[in-house]
Amino acid sequence: MSDTVTVTTWYLEQTAPGQLAPARVPDPSAGVAVHRAEAPSPEFSRFLYASVGADNTWIDRLPWSYEQWRRFLERPGVETWVAYERGTPAGFIELDGAGEAGRVEISYFGLLPAFRGRGIGGHLLSVGTARAWDLAGRWEGHPATARVWLHTCSLDGRHARANYERRGFRVYRTETKQEPRVIPPGPWPGA
């Protein structure tokens, strides 16, 4: 087996709020709700990141210290929106509007494995993208959003790119390169 793998990365964007094509809202009987995690919590954010990304090769933040998580989460314009099913965290979308003025990155988005394939992801992405467009209304002095962007790659979930495109995101750049082969860590050691 080779020590590298070919990875294709797609960069996608929306440049106007009207480009968002919302997914259907889950039936109320499913008990699905999306709420903002308003109190920055490194423990909770790391749980979401590690649990959602465990089988998608999300490893860049695993070595972050508590202090690194705290500093990131406390930046003005950074928000975490969490999907719950009957009170249980099902997934999250992380917005980073703390970078270039008027630009909001969807830095992470995904569902825990047990909640995939049930229509929650499209709804969470719709809500999160809408919140990226109205981010300035929650952060005093923050500029209005002019662009919402993200990237996904061939190592992410097999439906990720299609979900983004169904929500109105359009590819503006594609890159393909060799990267070191990484074995996804799983949700906990030995899983």
Domain hosting residue 79, numbered range:
13-151
Is 102 part of a structural domain of the chain? yes
Is 177 part of a structural domain of the chain? no
Is 62 part of a structural domain of the chain? yes
Give CA–CA dist 127/129, Å, rounded: 6
Q: Which whole number is the average pLDDT over 156-167?
A: 92
Q: Regarding predicted confidence, which is higher, 1 or 39?
A: 39
Is 167 part of a structural domain of the chain? no
pLDDT confidence bin for 191, thresholds 50/70/90: very low
**In the predicted model, is pLDDT for residue 7 greater than 70?**
yes
Is 170 part of a structural domain of the chain? no
**In the predicted model, is pLDDT for residue 1 greater than 70?**
no
Is 184 part of a structural domain of the chain? no
- Backbone φ, ψ for residue 35 (5° rounding): -135, 150
pLDDT confidence bin for 180, thresholds 50/70/90: confident
Where are the alpha helices (H) located in 54-182, listed in sequence order?
Answer: 66-73, 120-133, 160-166
Is 169 part of a structural domain of the chain? no
Is 25 part of a structural domain of the chain? yes
Task: Kindly state the percentage of the chain with pLDDT values over 70.
Answer: 95
Bridge partners, 153 (sequence order): 9
Residue 5 neighbours by CB under 8 Å, 6+ apart: 155, 178, 179, 180, 181
Residue where the block lists tokens 């999306």: 34
| Count of structural domains within the chain | 1
Specify the CATH number for the domain of residue 40.
3.40.630.30
